[in-house]
Amino acid sequence: MTHVHSVSLRQYGVGHASHTHDFAQIVVPVQGALCLEVAGRQTCLAEHHAAYVGVGAPHVQEARDTNCSLVLDLEQSEISPALADSLAGRRFFALPPGAAALVGYMALSLRQRPPSALMLAQWKSLLLAELGQGDPSSDSLHGGRLAGLLARIDASPAANWTIAAMARTLGISASRIHVLFQHELGTTPRAWLAQHRCALARTWIETTTLPLADIACRAGYADQPAMTRAIRNATGLPPGAYRRSWHEMATSRQDLPTRRGAPAVS
């Protein structure tokens, strides 16, 4: 099936019910904030951050203020299985600089005139390339080689995950770990680790009553000020204010989805 408006600008409000699609989506706020739950995990996205909704993944979105998001509908044939698996595993992620610039251009163009079918196809191809899509035959390191490493980092985010430690886990050199991250995820090991730790910290801030200092330690930050800087850069708010804002939003609506997929704490 081909979607006529496969790349579009959309505004969201409140009261959306959970639903699924037989195609994938990439959702990127270009104005305001958008709260989403995708396959049991929930967060609020701002500009230069994105959500990936896989085929058949239950999801719901909500926004309370003025907002606009760029939404790409993707047939399974349009995205490589390796990239789809990688994005589905992360669900929410910061856009690399090239992708963020491209999204800005796409949003501006969509506001001015309807794009041609050829332009839509080129936009999709370029954006997916920026997010890590490549030709699997160009490198032997493909097909989810990072999966085991990412799972170990997710289980122990506070461990000392240096480049050397990541490379030892996979049994490859430090230079190859950089190639692998760029090939599969379109980013560097350090940038991915920073984004992942920030996402974990935000989840625990939103869904637990743990002290902020404990969250910083569990997420792998050197100290609470380091986490504060990361959370402020991602959300525009320090952790305490972000927690209060999230809870106020949660209590202001009765249909807030239950966050079933939050990382466990013990």
The pLDDT tens digits of the residues spanning 58-69 come to: 999 888 788 899
- Model pLDDT, residue 190: 92
171 and 199 co-located in one domain:
no
Separation of alpha carbons 154 and 38, rounded Å: 18
Q: Is the pLDDT of residue 199 over 60?
A: yes
- Asked whether residue 263 is assigned to any structural domain, the reply reads no
- Asked whether residue 217 is assigned to any structural domain, the reply reads yes
- Asked whether residue 258 is assigned to any structural domain, the reply reads no
Count the alpha carbons within 13 Å of 4 in the hemisphere toward its beta carbon: 1
62 and 128 co-located in one domain:
yes
18 and 121 co-located in one domain:
yes
Last residue of a domain, one of 186, 208, 226: 186
List of long-range contacts for 236-242, beta carbons under 8 Å, 24+ apart: 236/46, 239/201, 239/205, 239/212, 239/215, 240/212, 242/202, 242/205
How large is the average pLDDT for residues 150-167?
Answer: 89
Q: What is the chain's length?
A: 266
% of the chain with per-residue pLDDT over 70: 86
CATH of the domain at 108: 2.60.120.280
Position 39 confidence tier, pLDDT thresholds 50, 70, 90: confident
21 and 93 co-located in one domain:
yes
Which range of 91-100, 148-157, 189-198, 223-232 scores highest in mean pLDDT? It is: 223-232
Please name the residues in contact with 75: beta carbons below 8 A apart, sequence gap of 6 or more: 1, 2, 3, 23, 24
115 and 150 co-located in one domain:
no
The pLDDT mean for the chain works out to: 82
How large is the average pLDDT for residues 11-29?
Answer: 87
60 and 96 co-located in one domain:
yes
33 and 19 co-located in one domain:
yes
29 and 104 co-located in one domain:
yes
pTM of the entire predicted model: 0.52
Task: Label residue 237 exposed, middle or buried (CB < 10 Å: 0-12, 13-18, 19+).
Answer: middle
- Asked whether residue 266 is assigned to any structural domain, the reply reads no
- Asked whether residue 243 is assigned to any structural domain, the reply reads yes
How large is the average pLDDT for residues 179-191?
Answer: 85
What is the token pair recorded at 89?
A: 């595993």
- Asked whether residue 1 is assigned to any structural domain, the reply reads no
CATH of the domain at 241: 1.10.10.60
Q: Is the pLDDT of residue 15 over 70?
A: no
- Asked whether residue 165 is assigned to any structural domain, the reply reads yes
38 and 111 co-located in one domain:
yes
- The total number of structural domains that make up the chain: 3
User: What is the Rg, in whole angstroms, of the alpha carbon atoms belonging to the chain?
Assistant: 18
13 and 128 co-located in one domain:
yes
- Model pLDDT, residue 252: 57
14 and 84 co-located in one domain:
yes
Last residue of a domain, one of 66, 100, 133: 133
How large is the average pLDDT for residues 184-191?
Answer: 85
180 and 91 co-located in one domain:
no
- Asked whether residue 260 is assigned to any structural domain, the reply reads no
How large is the average pLDDT for residues 131-159?
Answer: 64
Q: For 81-136, how does the pLDDT look when each residue is reduced to its tens digit (9 = 90+)?
A: 888 888 888 888 888 877 888 898 889 888 888 777 778 888 888 888 888 743 33
Q: Which domain holds residue 71?
A: 7-133
Position 259 confidence tier, pLDDT thresholds 50, 70, 90: very low
